[in-house]
Amino acid sequence: MAEQDSLIPLVKHTIAVSSGKGGVGKTTVAVNLAVALAQSGARVGLLDCDIYGPNVPLMMGVKQPDMGGGGQGQKLTPPEKYGVKLMSIGFFVPDDNPIVWRGPMINSAIQQFLRDVEWGELDYLVVDLPPGTGDAQLSLSQLVPLTGAIIVTTPQEVSLLDSKKGLAMFQKVHVPVLGIIENMSSFVCPHCHERTDIFSHGGGRHAADMLGVPFLGEIPIDPSIRSGGDAGRPLVDAAPASPQAEAFRRIATAVVEQVRIVKAAATKLTIIQ
């Protein structure tokens, strides 16, 4: 554990954001969660570990920043935006260049992003993982002591199957699951205020109940969330008074509470042992 701790010794809590499959808005959740935590006064970093599809630079509005030389013994300085320190493979490769790497190269990249970046003192390092249960997930869990993981899903009942896979993976690597977030929960018409459950409703809460983990909240589907991501301005900054931004802030509060519970349980277990 001492070797793991030395990679990011000044980071208090490391939170992995994952999903059983792609297309559920995992990076959107990770980005808005990180900014919401920063808005609450926390010191926050956001690490994009989705090596094959790094979308954090686009969603945070940062491309190819100056991070220093990164020479021998010199760490990279992560860019900062919306109060969040950032790092992504997307800063180093052109948008149209595919990354074709095997597992060991992914492991090496993630290790460098932890060891060779000057993260400084952080309350939370939010890690955006690729979808599924592959090399990046295993590498991260082996390289740093994760405080916990969040599983992002959509409302369909099939989400239960994907959430089960994610939960089983984190259980195998001994990482606590902080809870499940239901994204694209429903659509409320801004004109008539009628609610439409486009992708059904309640699958995330049902999955949380069935798997025995906390339900952290639901995020309504709204074009402003998508447009904010495309424009490089997360919704919690672009429209802080909106119901959607409020949903992200509630989820951030719930995540902080679950981190507190997990850390308290770990401390109690250590004392007992």
Reported as a pLDDT band with limits 50, 70 and 90, residue 2 is: very low
H or E segment to which residue 124 belongs: strand 122-128
Homologous superfamily (CATH) of 2-272 is P-loop containing nucleotide triphosphate hydrolases (3.40.50.300)
How far apart CA 6 and CA 124 sit, in angstroms, is 16
On the CB side of 112, how many CA atoms lie within 13 Å of its CA? 15
pLDDT of residue 64: 81
How far apart CA 45 and CA 80 sit, in angstroms, is 9
Question: Of 6 and 223, which is predicted with more confidence?
Answer: 223
Q: Which of 90, 131, 125, 95 is nearest to 109 (CA)?
A: 90
13-27, 47-61, 198-212, 232-246 — which is least confidently predicted? 198-212
How far apart CA 117 and CA 137 sit, in angstroms, is 19
Q: What is the dihedral of CA 49, 119, 80, 225, to 10 degrees?
A: 40
pLDDT of residue 86: 97
